[in-house]
Amino acid sequence: MKESNAKMGSIDFILFSAIMILVAVGVVMVFSASSYSAFFSKAYNYDSMFFLKKQGLSAIIGVTAMFFMIKIDYHKIKKFTKVIMLLTIILLCVVFAFKPINGARRWIPIPVFNLQPSEIAKYVIVLYMAKSIEAKGEKIKSFVYGILPYLMVSGLYAGLVIAEKNLSIATVIMLVTLILLFVGGARWMHFIQLIGVVGVFGTLGIILEPYRLDRFKSFLDPWKDPKGDGYQLIQSLLALGSGGITGVTLGKSRQKAYYIPEPHNDFIFSIIGEELGLIGCTVIIILFLIVIWRGIRTAIRAKDTYGTLLAVGTTSVIAIQAIINIAVVSGSMPVTGVPLPFISYGGSSLLFNLMAMGILLNVSRQCST
């Protein structure tokens, strides 16, 4: 189906505004959370604005890419899906040619930021499944023809990501797969069975990797090893607790002073809680709820199955990551490396999340009235 830009309506301004506010908050909070450690680190040239500059540049590139995706009819992505899938597999393999960082091989060094192919993989699955499920129609109700191929493809990408020591993003990939299968019309019985299978493999992924098992044990009782596996969670809870209702004021966090390791990354929500308090945390959660609400609304009003599945998939990626990240820093689930979308430091994450939001906003431009 082809649509010209002339036939497109206006973007969802509420969704667009929520995204832009989250990005702006993210840039500010990355600076606040990283300025102390960057200023006292030779590795960052004693520059307190080191991470601000990189995140600010990534935000500019990401927003530009988002506007580019808003302008292009989302149906045109279909013909590039196979190429994108193949390129992503190549990139997921290329990471093994570089030295590991903190024991994981997830990044490809490039001038602006370290490219993280797993950030692409979670959206590649959305593009692939949206195109394929639309073409299959009612055949999705068949397990062999409608379910198994998606499990194999998603399993391939998730397997490559797990090999990079990134179980969290692999989990996001499989959860998004389940959501798209459910929305696409898979039988309830098949869906329930799939949840069980994914749960078994997720459990094995924890048990068979000692450091993941240690994380799970520390989640159950972090104070049993306060200086080891439980350290990060305890410091996160201290940050959230010390912030109270209104916070200690922007920029005045104590936990960012080498208590929480790399506070500008996965645990940035803790710093938000400390500096901006319960009010700041609530505002962030409300903004994510707005994104999810408008994403679901777009999916319901999309004029075709492809648009609906694209909207559901992109919204699910953001929702799952936000839920997991906030659950982790608040001690509601074991510690895992899932960044908070639009807010945590990371050029790849910000770029591809914004590109995906550009596609979602493009779907909103073509919604049925």
Q: State the pLDDT confidence band at 105, using cuts at 50, 70 and 90.
A: confident
Number of domains in the chain: 1
Residue 276: count other Cβ atoms within 10 Å of its Cβ. Answer: 23
Residue 308: count other Cβ atoms within 10 Å of its Cβ. Answer: 21
Determine the structural domain holding residue 299 and report its residue range. 5-365
Nearest Cα neighbor of 238 from 266, 262, 259 is 259
Length of the chain, please?
A: 369
Residue 280 half-sphere exposure toward CB, CA atoms < 13 A: 23
Write the burial class of residue 20 (CB in 10 Å: 0-12 exposed, 13-18 middle, 19+ buried). Answer: middle
Give the residue with greater pLDDT, 283 vs 189: 283
Q: State the pLDDT confidence band at 211, using cuts at 50, 70 and 90.
A: low
Least confident among 64-78, 135-149, 187-201: 187-201
163-183 pLDDT, tens digit per residue, is 888 888 998 998 999 899 988
